[in-house]
Amino acid sequence: MQNVLSQLQQPIERESDLVSLLAAPLAGLGLLPPQFHANVEPLPSAEKHIGHMQRLLLTHVVPVWAPELGIAHPLLTQFFVPDLFANARPAAAAVARSAYATLLATPPAAFALACLVRLAAEYPVDRLFRAVFADGHGPVADAHWADAVRDLCAVPDRVANALALAATPPALQNAPYFAALSTRVEALMCALADGPAPAAAHAPLAYLLAKLVNVGLFPPRPPTARAQPSFFAAALPAIRAHHSPAHAALWAGVLRALPSALALQAVLASLFGALPAIEHALDPSAAVRTRVHRDAALLEGIVGRLRPAGDDQPCWDIATSLVLSREWPPAHARVFVCWLSADTEALDALLAAILAVWAAPAHIKHSLLATHRYTTALLLLALAQYPKNAPAVAALVANGAFISGISGYLAHLDPAVRRCGMLAAEAVAHRAGRALDFKDWDGDDEGRAWCRSLRALAEARDADAPLDEDPPDSDDESDIAPSTAAPARAAFAADPGADSDDSLSGYASPSSSRSASPTPSDLAEIEADPTLAVGRARVARPVYLAQLGALLRGAAPISAPHTSSGAGAAGTVGAPHEADRVAVGLASAADLIRRKRTYGTELAENAVDLACALLGMNDNFELDGFAAQRQDALTALVACAPEKAAPTLIQEFFKNQYSVEQRFAALTALALGARELAALPPPDPAPAPFASRTLPAPLHRKYAAAEDTVARLADSVTRLALTDERTEAAAAPPAARARRLRLAPQRTSITELPPSSLNPYAPAPTTITPPTHSSAPTFAAVAAEHFVMPLVHAFWGSLHAAHAREARTANRAGRARFHGAGTGLVLSPLVLSQLLGTLAVLVHAGRAAPAWLAVIAPAALELALAVGTRRVSHDEDEDSSPSPNPSDPTSGGKDASVLAAALELALAVLDGSLALDGGRALALEHTALALATREWAAGVLGALDSGVRAPGGGGAPAARLGRAAAGVLLKGGAVEEVWGRSMLGGAV
């Protein structure tokens, strides 16, 4: 068994190996399905290691093999939810009880959720109870029962907390789960009531009810929300159906065994609140009296026949306090009196308790009319249980509390409340054989109609109504016969002669000699038929990242799935085609990478290999969705393993063997992965382009789908930086607004901010736990070391190498002369603008990095200023004047897209500096850089205003260029406005 546990912690290459590892322990438990019995040696010690093996399967096998399981799936499921054939065996219940604890202790993935759904249905509370106490009651069994109850009650909360906002399976949601649990508890009590020794189950069942009270299954009032569970709302119909003396004795014993009075009070309050309401509370008809008597019998069947002395004293005190201290519907008074007036002793105690509340001066003075009517109804219905001239009623006439209560009611200002006292006085006098009539009962106003209805109701007792008669106005929907409309409708539809109108029938057309074309579903069925797969083997989805890398390179997997020789081996199956390997690898790459994010160190070990493999791929087979799938995989790789993937992509980006498309994929992955790590929202979808007139529709959809994600992200950063300026300018007075429109921002005052408010992007001053190897860090922790600075340093190295090669061939002519900005190279305008846009996105996303102000901001701003004002290749100044003007966008042949991207990068740096420390670090420590940036933006904007057009300008690039230049000028002016005096010394 130790060998099996050790092998489960190692990579399992073939599904057949997994089957052999799972079969032997299941055979030792007696839970192995019959189809796997051949050549399996049972392991008798497997029962001791059930929990350990379940944990290993969840942490090492399920994350890798769950999406690709075939014949091993029933064996894996058998370790958590034994099937129905093995349900009755003791080992099955032990496995299920351990599975509850194991599944709740791990993050619930899809496999764990499916197992929990099956456990709740196939191994509910009554099945676990029988398994735990199969060998009798004792300390060990009680401990196992406590663990089982704890796990059963924790399922909905654990699942909801783990899934957060994700959709929870309906069977595991709070209300459905506890409704099913409540019905199974009642089924358990019904089965135990007919057993040989039901008294032994009192303590375990009382512990279960107390736990259900703690989780809120006994609300004091019927729940109004669907998500709120209620034990009696779900189990009360079954309790009615199972009513018997043995069942009532078991319920009464369990309630009296509850560990605390608060738990008993919660159960009784919930039971009283779950009683069905009666629309006409004072209806004296026989049908309503039968319903009241049945509800009273239900209370007696659950709580028992209470008496105010002996062992029932605690339960009596709780029940009567609930009856008299809470607001119940008016019909509940009839049920309570019918239940609690079982004998003379109980009736006398009940009447005394009612009188103490009814005659209390505080109750008479402050209670509402509904409360007065409820207590008056209790009093008159209790009096109706006595025969006329009974000693208890005669004593009530001379009772001092009753007489003072009548005086208090007669002095009340509300006539409806006053008539409650008058009615009680007349009823007591009539029962005592005396004459008293206030002669003020005609009419329907001021409570007179209610008093007449209560007087008529008290003429008879609800306890005398028969229980075996079905009331004709019963609202029990279970007695309603099902509708026969659907069968009739089905019979009508099946009648061929129902419609004889031939004018509605189509003309008969001759059958074609050509066979019908197969539908897409037919083609999919043919493709999935294993008997027709001759000549090519299907590619198995990878379960390890090493297998994924082999598929992406088009090579054979590291360990091919085991193929058994059986019925499917009739034809010769060859090796899968390279296109199939690439397609399967791309389709599963992003999901597999994200699943491995929290699975050990496998992702860190394979991240570099996967980054190179994905980046170097070409669409040689014209696969559908090739670019999107590769981009998703690269983005997932950067987001899940930033320390490994991001530096690798940056290093590969500056190599010469990659095309423009591949370089764009690397930059897009860096931008999107950084925003995901920084918890920023994904980019908005690209707007729908205009339909082209020269391309057919399929080609138009293909090329129109291509979108420049980095350019849209950089443009969104620019618009976000200018939002505050635009809002502030719009709210300014007309004169100040005109000055702002002339790009000369003036601020009225300088406000000193506390240090805690200078950096809104900085994390809160809490204890930061360093990330473990199983989860990716935040972008703030890796922005400088693995994203921005490697990209900046690699660019300077590439630029220096390109200039050195250009210098060595500067004296040559024609094709012998090297150009660093050739098509597809890093310094070409197309790629360089994309690089600068990516850097702007990274700078904006990394504002919370500790090294942002000191390292990232000056390095990025220096790069933007150098690219925007200096030449990066001989191609830029071949046709320019000998002394180019750095402020002129046309000098040196600077492309408009490169200028716009450089200005957008500068704007991101300036906006971040203003947001973090008001521009202090940039203005005081890098003064010359800040002043040069503003001067550069002013020169570009002035040239554009004078009508100069940069190469490649016009349309969207020209708009981006003007907007970015204006933004840099505004932000630079804001920095100089605050720190201008201090910047003079630094500039000198």
How confident is the model at residue 806, as a pLDDT?
A: 83
**Model confidence pLDDT, tens digit, residues 819-876:** 766 666 888 888 999 999 999 999 999 999 999 999 999 999 999 999 999 888 766 6
**Model confidence pLDDT, tens digit, residues 143-197:** 999 999 999 999 998 888 888 757 788 898 889 999 999 999 999 999 998 887 7
Please classify residue 250 by burial: count the beta carbons closer than 10 Å to its beta carbon, then call 0-12 exposed, 13-18 middle and 19+ buried: buried
CB distance 53 to 75 below 8 Å: no
Classify residue 57 by its DSSP letter: I
Q: Does domain 534-557+576-682 have CATH number 3.10.450.200?
A: no
Joined tokens for residue 454:
């209560």
**Mean local confidence (pLDDT), 327-337:** 90
pLDDT class for 937, splitting at 50, 70, 90?
very high
**Model confidence pLDDT, tens digit, residues 26-56:** 888 888 888 887 777 788 777 788 888 889 8
- d(CA 22, CA 737) in angstroms, rounded, equals 76
**Model confidence pLDDT, tens digit, residues 2-22:** 888 888 888 887 888 888 888
Please classify residue 424 by burial: count the beta carbons closer than 10 Å to its beta carbon, then call 0-12 exposed, 13-18 middle and 19+ buried: buried
| In the chain, % of residues over pLDDT 70 | 79
Instruction: Please spell the DSSP secondary structure of 903-964, one letter per residue.
Output: HHHHHHHHHHHHHHHTTHHHHHHSHHHHHHHHHHHHHHHHHHHTT---TT-SSHHHHHHHHH
pTM higher than 0.75: no
- d(CA 905, CA 937) in angstroms, rounded, equals 12
Q: What is the largest CA-CA distance in the chain?
A: 135
**Model confidence pLDDT, tens digit, residues 888-933:** 544 446 889 999 999 999 999 999 999 999 999 999 999 999 999 9
Choose between 751 and 249: higher pLDDT: 249
**Model confidence pLDDT, tens digit, residues 630-681:** 999 999 999 999 999 999 999 999 998 899 999 999 999 999 999 999 999 8
**Mean local confidence (pLDDT), 291-309:** 90
**Model confidence pLDDT, tens digit, residues 406-416:** 999 998 888 89
- d(CA 232, CA 183) in angstroms, rounded, equals 9
* Backbone angles phi and psi of 24, in degrees to 5: -65, -50
| In the chain, % of residues over pLDDT 90 | 39
Q: How far is CA 720 from CA 429, 644, 726, 760, 964, in A?
A: 85, 31, 10, 15, 12
How confident is the model at residue 559, as a pLDDT?
A: 46
Enumerate residues 6+ apart whose C-beta is below 8 A from 690. none
How confident is the model at residue 725, as a pLDDT?
A: 59
Residue 479 has pLDDT above 60, yes or no: no
Q: Where are the domains of the chain?
A: 275-469, 534-557+576-682, 779-875+894-986
pLDDT class for 810, splitting at 50, 70, 90?
confident
Enumerate residues 6+ apart whose C-beta is below 8 A from 227. 173, 174, 175
**Model confidence pLDDT, tens digit, residues 439-455:** 778 878 888 898 989 98
Enumerate residues 6+ apart whose C-beta is below 8 A from 221. 273
**Model confidence pLDDT, tens digit, residues 49-91:** 888 888 988 888 888 887 777 788 888 888 899 988 888 888 8
- Angle formed at CA 779 by CA 777 and CA 782, multiple of 5 degrees: 75
